Each structure stands twice: as structure tokens, then as C-alpha cells.
Structure 1
Amino acid sequence: MNTDLEEQEDELLALQSIFDSEEFVRDESKSAGEIRVSVELPADFNVVLKEGDSLRQYEISFLPPLLLTFDLPQDYPSSSPPSFTLTCSWLTHPQFISYLLLQLHALGVQLTDLYQATRGAVVLFSWVQFLREDALKFLDIHSVLELPSDEHNTELCDQDKDSATLSEPNNIEHTPTSEPTDDQHCDVSDPCEPHLPGSSSQVQENPSTSDGISTDSQGACALDSHQQTQTRDSSPNKHQTSDLSITPSQALMSQILLYNAAQKQKLFTTTLFDCGVCFMSWLGSECVQLFQCGHIFCKPCLGKFCKVQIKEGNVRGVTCPEADCGGSPTPAQVRSLVGEELFSRYDRLLLQSTLDHMADVTYCPRNSCGSAVIVDTSSTAAMCSVCNFAFCVKCKKTYHGAQDCHTMKTEKEDIIPQRGYASLPQSKEGLKAVWDDYSSASKERKRILERRYGRDVMQGTLTMWLSDDWITDNCKHCPHCFCKIQKISGCNVMTCTRCHQLFCWACLTRLEKYGSDHFQSSDCVHYPLDFAYRA
């Protein structure tokens, strides 16, 4: 007896040294405890849930652990195996819910057989190794774990109700042929009942030194309670759920996905990675992984990169620093890297940039407003919803109806001159001649022109009108964001400096890529004559 107790103590101390506190918990008051066993999954392991015609499939790397709760009898390991309970939340079968009993029962029998094969030796570590490395193969689960649909579970529950009076589904007794005799009980909850996300199925092995099959009075009481519950819940509305509730299968899927994400994050924080910018090794807890592309950078490098882009106003440049990569950090990652102040600027500029990329959005031309305005592309009229200013989308002046924007500009130029001063010429050529005379004149000549037309007109209004005319004559609007663009030289493939949209300068057609076949299928030419001549 003393030898058994010494071996038990040595085994428990060895388990404490092998497993951490999250994996192994010992009951110091007696020779008992619990072990959480994470099964090893093969590559490309998937969890599948069928719901009607839809199929939800996720690739995972971790499943919630099996919980092995044990209690060592005084004559273990020389004569008796440990008394144990095996708990699992995901061990189900897509066709026969009763097959769950066989799966859990088979695992329990296998653990007992492992003890029988090594009679007289400690066995807990061998059990853990079997559950971790061979449990899935033993249960014939290879690369897919298929969760049962709730509709199928309902049908199986109805079948179980019909046979409830003939058998006891909550208790299965097994008597091994080898000595000593063990009464093994498999306990699963009623599959018809709703479960919480943490609900589980249990197999409990209670070794007994008596011969024969013992009577389980608690099992009979559980059966009566089970039948009463079925009768009480047999109303047709039992399985109806609201739109905001989730089914037990969906809850189980969520539990598996959340556990998988938590374990992957835990593994990430304790692993060394090489930063793609400074090429130094960092722990994952000091790194950021971009979800879109998977590239990993240390927080200092990625933080500095994002801060520079935001300070320069280039929010579209807050992307993956890796060359030719289209990934980008999430807003939550940007916030953690740059702080609240810069993130507020980033959020505001990102919204502004997004609006700039929308073809049906323009801005109120009033300097005191500048609010975004949604326009009807079939009309040139727009009205600001903030200040109620009606304006022309093309010239950004007060809405002038069906009149041409250029005509309205000419009429505006014909204003009443300041008192005591002469009127400016009405034509563009006359205005240009007055400006050329003024800009190249001597101080005396400038004073004469200022006395004739007014100093404010010569230094302010005239230059503004000439600038507007020059922009109108020499610039075109981007077909995507309507930004005014001037073409200095080069081919007819233009890139908007604001929204980076490619378009044809000749006809303002949007281009998908630089090597577009637009110039082969239209009258537009890729290289204008003046460009070809200079080349």
C-alpha cells in the first residue's frame, strides 16, 4: 500500500513538472486532479456545419481541450485503474446522436485497456499521450469535424422519445471480460434540450471491485426525470427560436472558433518573428500581423510608418510596408499604433478620401460650409443639405439653370465698376491685354492704370478672373472625382493626383489599367502628335 502511495505521489509531481497550471490542476487534499488535453490536429483541418442548403466551413488549428478528471484509489497502480471522467464539448456525430455514446464509451474503454496492458504501472501520462496524439484517429476523424445540424437533432430527439420506454439512453453499462470487473457508465445530456455554449458530453468510468453488474438507482431516477422533461417540452413551439437567438449548433461552432482564435493569438505572442522593415527578431507580443496579407512587422517600425503617412495627409498610404502588397492595417491596429490624436486625423482624412473616390459626391463651394453633397449624375444642379445653397456642379457657382457656365461667367464680368473708375474690357483678349500692360509697366504706368480701373481691381479681381479663365481653358475635370487637372505633356493616359483614377485625356473615359485597349477600340490616340514630334 505504501508503495502505491509513493508511486502516486511521484506520478502527480511528474505531471506538475510536465504541464503548466492551465493544463494540470491537482487536488491537494487527495490523490486527484484534472488534466486538459489539447488534441493534435492535422494540417488543413476543417469544422463544418450544415444549415439547410447553406454550408459553413472553417479551417482551424485548435479544438477545445478534452477534460480528464481523475481520482486515484489507494490500490492504484498495483490493482485498480484510476476512476475518471472524460468531458468533451465537440465530440458529436452528424448522423446518429447516439453514436456519441459509442465514441465517448470507446475512448473510456481504450483508456481502461491501456491500464490493463500495463498492469502495475502508472498510466496517467500514457492516457494523456493517447488522447492528444491518437484520439482523432481512434474515432475515425481525419481532416473534417462535421457538427450536427439542429434540424437533424430535432428528428433524432423525436425518435429517441418513441424508444424512451424501451431503453435507458443515459446509462450504458459495460463489463470487461478481464479481471477485475469494471462498471463503466456513459452519461450524456438530452440532445433535445437547449445547451449553453459551454455544454459538454461526458464519459465517466467508475471501476468496481465487485463481480457482476451493479444497479444504478440514480440512473433510473434520471430516466424518469428525462421522460417527464420530454412530456413537458413536447409542445410544437419548443424548437422555435427568435431571429436574434442562436441555435445550439451555432453556439458550439462559435465556441470552437473563439477558442481557436484565442489559442492562435497566444501562440503568436510567444513566437519570434523577423520584422519586415528592420529585419530584427521580435516576440509576437511586440509585433503586428496584418490580416489581409499576413505580413508581420514590429510595432515601432509599423507605428512610425503609419505616423509619417498620416501627418503628411496620405491616408491611402497607410498600407502594408511590403513592396507590391495591397494589404493594410485595420482601424483598430492603426489606433493602437499611432494614438488617439493622430487616429482622429486619420479617421477624418480617410472619410474625406473615401468621399473623394465617390463619383456622385461633390462639396458645397461656400468657404464657410464645404459639406459633402450627393449629386444626381443626370443633372448639373445640386443643393447643400447643410446651408441650402443651390449651385452648379460644373462651375461651382450659383445655379444658373440651362444657361452655359461660360456665358454666366461672361455676364458676371460685366459688373458695375467702382465709383470714379472706368469699366474693364468685356472680352478675354481685352482683359489679357490690360493685364499684360499692367504687369510689364513701370511704376508710373501702373499708377495710371490703377487710377483708371482701381487698385483693388488691378491687383485682385483682374488676376482672379484671368486665373479662372485660364483654368477653364486649359484644365479638364477628372471623370471620377471632378478634380481640375492640367495636362503639360506626355501621352493621353492621365492619372488623377487626388483619387489616382486612370483616364483618357481626349475623351475622359475611365481606364482600368495603363495597357488598356481603349485606344485600339476608339478614335482616341495614345500619343498625340506634339508628343510624337518631341520624341
Structure 2
Amino acid sequence: MAPPPLGVNGIEISELGEGSDHGREQNCGGEEAMKRLEKLRICDGDEVGISEELITDNDRRQDDEVLALEAIYQDNIVILDHQEGLRSFQIFVHCEVPDGITVSAKFHSAGTSNIKGMQTEAEVASSSSYDEGFLYSFKVTYLPPIILTIVLPKSYPSHHSPYFTISTQWLDKSRILSLCAMLDTIWRDQPGQEVVFQWTEWLHGSALSHLGFAEEVALWGPNDNMVLTDYRAISENVVPERVIPFLMGYNEKKCHEAFLSNIHQCLICFSEYLGSEFIKLPCQHIFCSNCMETYSKMHVKEGSVTKLSCPTSKCGAHVPPVVLKRLLGDQDYERWESLLLQRTLDSMSDVVYCPRCETACLEDSKTNDAQCSKCLFSFCTLCNDRRHVGEKCMDAEARLRILQERMQPGGARTNEQLRKEKELINELLSVKEALKDAKQCPSCKMAISRTEGCNKMVCSNCDQFFCYKCNKAIDGYDHFRQECELFPSEEINRWEAQMNARQVVAQVRAELFAGHANHPCPNCGQRNAKEGNNNHLFCWACQTHYCALCHKVVRRSSEHFSRKGCKQHTSDP
């Protein structure tokens, strides 16, 4: 069976729990809402004096209204079980915040420690100090829904309004009561008419502005501590320490779901797919799963696991292991782990390998000794022979000479001993041959050869900078100001031999007219001066043709300097 498609950060689509928010909120608040609505209905006694004919007409109108609401709100409406023959349902009203909205909460000094831990969960838009504490604010794109639970009495809509409750997990009871009062006003303005749709649309588009939240949702208010007993307002103990993580988590999940359902463009193949076909890395760059799979397997196959990072240029963020495990499969993932471990060990200057079982060991840099943790063999890290305390270790040249003498006929050694000695001789000869025209990296001992250029070298295995002349580890160019020269004399002579007379003249001209040499070469950055009014410049350093006006490389003079292009002759310096 094929694995399920990857979502953002390697999350499966099946793990999103799509459509489960309403079910959880219904289980949490639906039972409490129905209990309160039952109490309101019993206390009101609205069916008294209603004729059967009117009840039948109301039932027909209610049925039409509920069908219309289901068609309009679809997944955002949940039909509840009939209570004593009465229709009941919940509508999840999402407040309209098209451009996002700022949520803020005021904390006193005693609550400062609680909020510090939350700052890692989302970006803090602003944090300002006040006399009575501080203001913590952040921005969200989605707010949790306002849950409108409704029971339609038999006298609705002819005589009585629907029984309802409003519940949220992020508004205090005083603000919910303000919403309840507004719904009562809407009913009074049009008695005898169906009002559930008007209620829902008003909560969707006007609830935030009615509460004074048009630009910012404040999680505190002047009436937070009032004792209110209206059964229609259902609110938990709304404290910022609980509400802020809830709002952040809800917003993050909804943004994730929106990403999965929208079309995006891959930054590698530039094809467009649904977000469910993408991988989003911690750096927020996105790539389709096919490109990331090919990219990851290519690096693992070639062994360049240290370069397996975000494909975006100059990003360098690592690909999480959980994503690689899904992209590579078990076999390639195990190879990636072993290669990464090997590269890490190779980059450590104090790690050597046991000559018997090839287990990684830590070297004592003072004595050049090590002991294998697996076979307990103590050996010298210079010659890979038994540890010889107090004796000077032979160099590679002397060890090669002794081994070659031991290979002469007449020695009493087993075939296995002869095979190991031949392998060691071949290894020493290879190292000797490689070091004729190369230097060993002072960190990982990899042989590196310089073909041309300066004496500042970088190891491709461990990224260590070192001087090719003295073989010292360096950082920057200070070493070449005090000890060694940056360019060897033969490299300077070779460069001077390549300089033709035209380049020399151009260099002298650029130095003489330094005030007019304000035209840097787009290739090497060297500044050059114009010859008269001609804008066609020739860089004396890298021999690149370019334009003095737009500073672009000139491939063909007739195409660049034309009616639609730049002017070849101007009086500017």
C-alpha cells in the first residue's frame, strides 16, 4: 500500500481531523446549552393558548427555515436531537476578519512569568510596558467560532422568538450578554418573522465591531468581574493565560488547513499543486513532495548528506529528520543516518578508528594514544600499532620501509598477516603519492591539492580554512598579514604574464582618472574610466565588456547600443 501524501512539515492529511472541531465543541458545550434552554422554556410556558392550526403553520415555516440554513451554512450547522418534538440545532458562526486582527491582553507583574513561555509559540507583534503591568499582543487570521445554540418553540415565528444560548471560549460573559441583547433587539424589530438567518449574519459580520473589536480584540474589559446570571451567556473562566494559547493553537491549525486546500507553486519545478502535495520546511520555504523526494535521494546517493538542506539559495536551513524519513524510505534513511554520522566523525579532529575492528575512538591529543571501547585494543594513533609508552613513534616513511623489508621472502607469517601488511603498504604508498602535490587538512587530515589561486584553502569535508603554505588552521586573512603571503610568487608571475598592453594602459588610466572611474565592472567590481564619450567600457581586470550607463554586460555592441537600448556616446563622465 502506498504511503499517504505528505502535508505541511510531514503531517498526514488523515491526521488533520478535518471537521472535528465542531464535534468537539458540540460535546463540550451542547449538553450545557440544552440544559439551560430547557430551563428557559419551562419558565416561559410559550405554548399556552396557541391553536393547532397556528402550530401547524409554524411547524411548516420552521421546517423551511432549517432546510435553508442547512443549505447556506452546510458544515457549520449541526442538527441536534429533537427535545419533546422541538427542533434544535447549533450554528458555528465565524467572525469575519479578512485582513487578520490583533489580540492583546494586559498582564500585571505577577503574571509576567506565565507569558514568557508563550512567546516561543508565535511571533509577538508588540510588547509595551505600562505602570500596572504590560501589554502582550499578537496577530491572528482566524478566530474561534461563536456557537449559537437554538431551540425553536411551537409558537415561533408567529408569537415567540427562538430560545438561544451563545457560548465561546475566548469572550467573557459580559460581552456575550451584549450579543444576546442585540439578538433580542433584532427580534423586536421584526416580530412574527424568521430571524435565525439575520442573527447569524449579524454575528458573522458585526459582532466584533459591536463589541469595539474592529481593529483589536482586547482580552480584558471594565465588566470582567461583574456577577451575571443570564442563562443564555455561556462562558468559562476566561483568563489570558488560558485564552492566548488557545487562540494561537486554533489560528495555527486553521492556517494549516487553509494551506492544504489552496494552490501553491513549487520553488523547484514551478508547477502548481494543492498544499497537501507540498512540504513546508521550518524556514517556511515550500516545495512539492516529488521534487523534495528526488532532491533528498540524490544527495543520499551521492553521499553529500551535509549539503542536504533547504534547496533555496542562501537559506541553508536543515530538512527535519521526520520529513526525510517519509521522503527517503527505510533503506535510504538508514544510509542517510550512517553517512551523516560518518561525516560528523570525520570532521572531528580527535576521532580515530580502531585498526582491528574499525570502531570510532577518541584520541588523547597529548599522548597520541586511544583505546577501543569495543575490543579494548590500546593503540598508537600515529602508526596504528600497539601502544608504545615512552618510545618515539616512527613516521610514515620509516614504517613503510620496515613493512617493505618484512615482505621479503623467508618470513614466518600467516597468509592473513601477509594480506593485512600488503593492504597497509598500499595505503601508505597511496598517502605518500597523494601528499606529493597536496597538503592534509589540519582538522580531518583529508588530502587537498591547490591548482591555482591564493594560499587560503577550505576543506570540502569539514569546511576548515587553512594556509596551504604552512598548513595551519586559520580564520579570515589576518594570518597572511603577519606570517605567510596570500599569493605565491609563481601565481603572481603567471597573472602578470597574462596582462596584455591594453590592460596595463586601462589600469593606468583608471588610476590617473580616479575621480572619473565611477563605473564598476558588473563581473569583478573593478572600477574603470570612460574613454571620451564612449559608454562601451572594457574592464582591464577581467576583460569584460559592459555599458557605463546601465552597468550590464555587453554581448553584442550593435544590439545593446541601439534605438531601444542605451546610447553609446554621451557627455557624462
Aligned counterpart, 1:280: 271
Q: Distance in 1 between matches of 2:275 and 2:407?
A: 75
One-letter amino acid matched to 2:351: T
Deviation at 1:360, TM superposition (A): 5.4
Which secondary structure does the structure 1 equivalent of 2:257 belong to? helix
One-letter amino acid matched to 1:113: T
Aligned counterpart, 1:63: 143
Q: Distance in 2 between matches of 1:380 and 1:147?
A: 65
2:464 to 480, 498, 501: 501
Aligned counterpart, 2:65: 11
Deviations 1:402-453 (A, max 9, x none): 7665558636744694597699xxxxxxxxxxxxxxxxxxxxxxxxxxxxxx
1:340 aligns with 2:327: no
Please tell me whether the aligned partners of residues 391 and 398 of structure 1 are also in contact (alpha carbons under 8 angstroms). Answer: yes
Instruction: Go from structure 1 to structure 2 and tell me whether the alpha carbon gap of 1:116 and 1:280 turns closer, same or farther (over 3 Å shift).
Output: same
**Size of the alignment, in residue pairs?**
405
Aligned counterpart, 2:91: 35
- Percentage of matched positions with identical amino acids: 26
1:388 to 355, 358, 376: 376
Aligned counterpart, 1:177: none
Please tell me whether the aligned partners of residues 170 and 188 of structure 1 are also in contact (alpha carbons under 8 angstroms). Answer: no
Q: Distance in 2 between matches of 1:144 and 1:384?
A: 64
**Which fold has the larger relative contact order, with Cα–Cα distance below 8 Å and residues 6 or more apart in sequence?**
2
TM-score, normalised via structure 2 length: 0.60
1:426-445 alignment runs, 5 A limit = none
Deviation at 1:16, TM superposition (A): 0.9
1:52 to 101, 106, 112: 112
Deviation at 1:116, TM superposition (A): 2.7
Instruction: Go from structure 1 to structure 2 and tell me whether the alpha carbon gap of 1:529 and 1:338 turns closer, same or farther (over 3 Å shift).
Output: same
Instruction: Go from structure 1 to structure 2 and tell me whether the alpha carbon gap of 1:392 and 1:303 turns closer, same or farther (over 3 Å shift).
Output: same
Please tell me whether the aligned partners of residues 46 and 143 of structure 1 are also in contact (alpha carbons under 8 angstroms). Answer: no
1:129 aligns with 2:204: no
Deviations 1:444-470 (A, max 9, x none): xxxxxxxxxxx9999877655444445
Deviation at 1:75, TM superposition (A): 3.2
Deviation at 1:287, TM superposition (A): 1.9
Which secondary structure does the structure 2 equivalent of 1:282 belong to? strand
One-letter amino acid matched to 1:75: S
Q: Distance in 2 between matches of 1:457 and 1:362?
A: 22
Instruction: Go from structure 1 to structure 2 and tell me whether the alpha carbon gap of 1:381 and 1:60 turns closer, same or farther (over 3 Å shift).
Output: farther
Deviation at 1:12, TM superposition (A): 1.5
Aligned counterpart, 1:237: none
One-letter amino acid matched to 2:142: F
Please tell me whether the aligned partners of residues 501 and 510 of structure 1 are also in contact (alpha carbons under 8 angstroms). Answer: yes
Aligned counterpart, 1:97: none
1:349 to 339, 352, 370: 339
Please tell me whether the aligned partners of residues 36 and 66 of structure 1 are also in contact (alpha carbons under 8 angstroms). Answer: yes
Q: Distance in 2 between matches of 1:465 and 1:77?
A: 98
Structure 1: segments with no counterpart, 5+ residues: 92-99, 149-155, 161-167, 173-183, 192-200, 202-247, 424-454
Deviation at 1:25, TM superposition (A): 0.9
Q: Distance in 1 between matches of 2:105 and 2:387?
A: 59
Q: Distance in 2 between matches of 1:118 and 1:329?
A: 60
Q: Distance in 2 between matches of 1:458 and 1:509?
A: 32
One-letter amino acid matched to 1:137: S
Q: Distance in 2 between matches of 1:464 and 1:352?
A: 20
Cα root mean square deviation, aligned: 3.9
Deviations 1:386-415 (A, max 9, x none): 233334556655545576655586367446
Structure 2: segments with no counterpart, 5+ residues: 1-53, 123-138, 412-417, 496-573
Deviation at 1:321, TM superposition (A): 2.9
